[in-house]
Chain A
Amino acid sequence: MRSVSLARRVALVAAGIAALVGVIFATALIAMLSLRRADTRESHSKDVTVATLRVRAVAADLDSALRGYVLSGNRRFLALFNTSRAKVPRETNRLRTLVRNDRPQQLRADRAARELNGYLTDYALNVIVIAKIARSAAQGPAAGTEDKRRTDEIRGTLNDLLAVEDSRARAASSHARAITNVAVWVGVVALAVSTALVLLFGAWVAREVARPVRRLAAAAADVAAGDLGIRLEEGGAAEVGALVSAFNSMTRSLELGRRELLVQNERLREGERHKRDLISMVSHELRTPLASVLGFTALLLERDFPPDEQRRYLEIIDGQARRLATLAGDFLDVQLLDGGALMLVRTPFDLVELVREQVQLFFLQLTSHGLAIDVPESPLVVDGDRDRMSQVVGNLLSNAIKYSPEGGEVRVAVRQDGTDVVVAVSDDGVGIRTEDVEQIFEKFFRSAEAIKTVGGTGLGLAVAREIVASHGGSLEVESTPGVGSTFVVTVPLHAPSLTTDPGVGDFAWRGGQLS
């Protein structure tokens, strides 16, 4: 039922009502026709009755005239007889013509005519002849008996005819009445059914069409007011149901679109925030060393200091200027990484030696942090850009110092793992929150703690990971917040057979056990 369309339902109901109206009209028409037929029949019966009565009157006139003549001999009665006799053919014929389409009545009319003619020819004329000769003979009891028999016979026949005609008329009218009754009943029932049909259909339209449409209109107003979470109960007549599901999918996609917009908006805002943070960070990272460089330069220019102090301040200026240069280099690296144009100068070198160098560089004068170093005696040669790898190890060492409290211990370990060399740098620092672990290698990313407490560009680890990756290695981190972090660099060992560089042989010979 649900699948039948609204248009089809309306058409069906309209067709049903039209059929019922047709039935009403047809029965009314039939009733009218039968009434008219009964009417015609009745007037015909009246004609027949009149004609029959006239025949009866003629027969009665003939009999009276005959009897008058026989009793009185008066010729006036004879004249009356003759006048009436002349009427006989006309009256009988009229009757026969009227009943010619009604076989039994025609037979009765014929019989009445025959009996009347028989009365005239076989009896009345003979009686007149006898009466003319001897009136008393004609008055005999035999004649009287014969007269009564014959006139009774004629009257009986005509009365039969009258009775039949009367019953015919009555039957026709009662038939017409019956048909009219039926027509009235059919009309009443059909009217009731079509009224019920219209009412039911109206109720159905109200329930299945009007109500869902009203709900839809209210929901559309809600949507216009901004409530996109609204959903209507699916259902209703076919087209209305389709409208409701179309509305639901519309609001669903609108809501989806809005959510996407919100997400996009949030992302844009985040990008904006990120940009602001970045500018602040760059500003801070530049201004801090710049303040030292400008400040000490101004002091050196304005005041006279003993030579050892001059030297100390110049060293500070040198260090801070280098810091600025490194910063500029980091930005340049990121630029290069973004363009994928990081150039590596590949030569085989000993990673153990490189780590020792970097550790010395960072820890020789450092008193704030302890150091535990665990490196093998023999070299572990890798193939790559020595300066870039120094940058990576330096970055990890500086982070370990920067992000751990004074007095903390930094542990550096180098070991061979299969065909790889592993460098691990651990600290007892602040650690990295789980949700930040994936992001610390993103360029410019700085954790909330780092932003608040420690300077930095958020570039070091991004650049380091990129450098390690371009050496065919990986840079990973394991960290427990509040306990410390371990950064692990894994790069493949140099494979001597794959290169013709004579320097490699030298390395292998010096290492003595590289195989």
Chain B
Amino acid sequence: MTSAARDPRPHVLVVDDEAPLRELIVVTLGEAFRCEEAEDGETALARLGEAPPDLVFLDVMLPGCSGIDVLREMRADPALRDVAVVVVSAWQGPEDVEAALESGANRFLAKPFRVDELASVARDLVERQE
């Protein structure tokens, strides 16, 4: 925690039940970000409770509680209300995008996404916060 707290890089939490996907996002963001991973909603909420990150990549279809549930809980929590969230989902129906944005997502990325787009979205959101 102490070393993490001293780390000046933006803090990103990647939530996805698919390990390859998590790894892809972490590798794409590269050394410029300090990445943390969670493979389900409960773990994600636990990590968020420990230290609010600067940015969350959130999958929708998670074992246990869904990504949308996690997002709603974040938006209801004053400490996490302003954390930028990018919902990443394989579901591309307009109602899924709508549900994500209505629940408070800052951006929506559909799988398969372009890695450069993902990277620029991450930079964008972090810069805006600063």
Question: Which residues 98-112 of B have a CB within 8 angstroms of A?
Answer: 110-112
Chain B interface, >50% SS class: loop
In the bound complex, do residue A295 and residue B113 qualify as a contact, i.e. CB atoms below 8 Å apart?
yes
What are the residues of chain B within 8 A of A452 when measuring CB–CB? 61, 66
In the bound complex, do residue B62 and residue A292 qualify as a contact, i.e. CB atoms below 8 Å apart?
no
What are the residues of chain B within 8 A of A250 when measuring CB–CB? none
In the bound complex, do residue B20 and residue A320 qualify as a contact, i.e. CB atoms below 8 Å apart?
yes
Name which of A284, A291, A452, A453 has the most chain B CB atoms within 10 A of its CB: A291
What are the residues of chain B within 8 A of A319 when measuring CB–CB? 20
Chain A interface, >50% SS class: helix
What are the residues of chain B within 8 A of A294 when measuring CB–CB? 112
What are the residues of chain A within 8 A of B90 when measuring CB–CB? 283-284, 287-288, 291
Interface size for A (C-beta < 8 A) is: 24
What are the residues of chain B within 8 A of A302 when measuring CB–CB? 115-116
What are the residues of chain B within 8 A of A283 when measuring CB–CB? 90-92
What are the residues of chain A within 8 A of B28 when measuring CB–CB? 295, 299
The residue on A at minimum CB distance from B23 is: A316
Cα(A287)–Cα(B8), bound, Å: 34
CB-CB under 8 A for A453 and B61, given A291-B24, A316-B20:
yes
Mask for B59-94, Cβ within 8 A of A = 1, else 0? 001111010000000000000000000000011110
**Closest Cβ of chain A: how far from B61's Cβ, in Å?**
7
CB-CB under 8 A for A291 and B111, given A284-B61, A452-B66, A453-B64:
yes
Q: B7 within 8 Å of A by Cβ?
A: no
What are the residues of chain B within 8 A of A313 when measuring CB–CB? 27
In the bound complex, do residue A292 and residue B61 qualify as a contact, i.e. CB atoms below 8 Å apart?
no
Q: B21 within 8 Å of A by Cβ?
A: yes
What are the residues of chain B within 8 A of A295 when measuring CB–CB? 24, 28, 112-113, 115
Cα(A284)–Cα(B27), bound, Å: 22
What are the residues of chain A within 8 A of B66 when measuring CB–CB? 452-453
Cα(A316)–Cα(B112), bound, Å: 15
The residue on B at minimum CB distance from A313 is: B27
What are the residues of chain B within 8 A of A505 when measuring CB–CB? none
In the bound complex, do residue A299 and residue B115 qualify as a contact, i.e. CB atoms below 8 Å apart?
yes
Cα(A299)–Cα(B61), bound, Å: 25
In the bound complex, do residue B115 and residue A288 qualify as a contact, i.e. CB atoms below 8 Å apart?
no
CB-CB under 8 A for A296 and B24, given A283-B90, A284-B91, A288-B90:
yes
CB-CB under 8 A for A292 and B91, given A284-B61, A298-B116, A453-B61:
no
20 A-B pairs, CB-CB below 8 angstroms? A283-B90, A287-B92, A287-B110, A288-B18, A288-B111, A291-B111, A295-B112, A295-B113, A296-B24, A298-B114, A298-B115, A298-B116, A299-B115, A313-B27, A320-B20, A453-B62, A453-B63, A454-B63, A455-B17, A455-B18
The residues of B with any CB-CB pair to A shorter than 8 Å are 17-18, 20-21, 23-24, 27-28, 61-64, 66, 90-93, 110-116
